[in-house]
Amino acid sequence: MAIRNIREMGDSVLTKRSKEVTEVTPKIAELINDMLETMYDAQGVGLAAVQVGILKRIVVIDVSPEGDDPIVLINPEIIETSGSQTGEEGCLSLPGKSGVVTRPNYVKVKAYDEEMNEIVYEGTELLARAFCHEIDHLDGHMYVEKVEGSLHDSRHSE
């Protein structure tokens, strides 16, 4: 496992669409492990592969307070949303900043796990926000496109 360099806003890779994963090769398994290590090291709650410069549809998320409940999503798709929440959001690709973004309060995601078995996750509040934020990265979008008002300084990041 290794900590990878996190790309920051302004790096053109972050605006590109990531490609579907067809097979979890040893190289992709290593990427997933590195993404988890990189996310925990940076004290984030989510990281998309594009943020370490790899244009593959892979996301890792951990919103648990202890950081011991990782979720790995391969080729994730949002299949249902409801409600709305408005709150602070940040990103490891824009360190030290946050802004107010409105997201659904409930999100259901279909994805594949590391064995390429289909899985469905449901999340509310922070987890729902993280699903939306990270899946946006896979389509080349950053939360700053959705910020209401202006960005400000923060210690939180996703």
Cite the active site residues.
134
Which letter, b or e, does each residue of 125-134 get, where b requires 16 or more Cβ atoms within 10 Å of its Cβ?
ebbbbbbbbb
Number of shown-chain residues binding Ni ion (CB under 5 A): 1
| Min CB(23)–Ni ion separation in Å | 26
Task: Identify each DSSP E strand in 8-112 by its residue range.
Answer: 46-48, 58-61, 71-82, 85-90, 97-103, 106-112
Residue among 24 and 135 whose Cβ is closer to Ni ion: 135
| Min CB(90)–Ni ion separation in Å | 8
Binding track, positions 71-110, relative to Ni ion; x by CB under 5 A = --------------------x-------------------
DSSP 8-class letter at 93: T
Positions in 123-142 near Ni ion (CB under 5 A): none
Residue among 28 and 94 whose Cβ is closer to Ni ion: 94
DSSP 8-class letter at 138: H
Residue among 14 and 74 whose Cβ is closer to Ni ion: 14
Sheet-wide strand order for 118-124: 46-48, 58-61, 71-82, 106-112, 118-124
Residue among 117 and 155 whose Cβ is closer to Ni ion: 155
User: How crowded is residue 22: how many other Cβ atoms within 10 Å of its Cβ?
Assistant: 11
| Min CB(115)–Ni ion separation in Å | 26
Residues found near Ni ion in the complex (CB under 5 A): 91
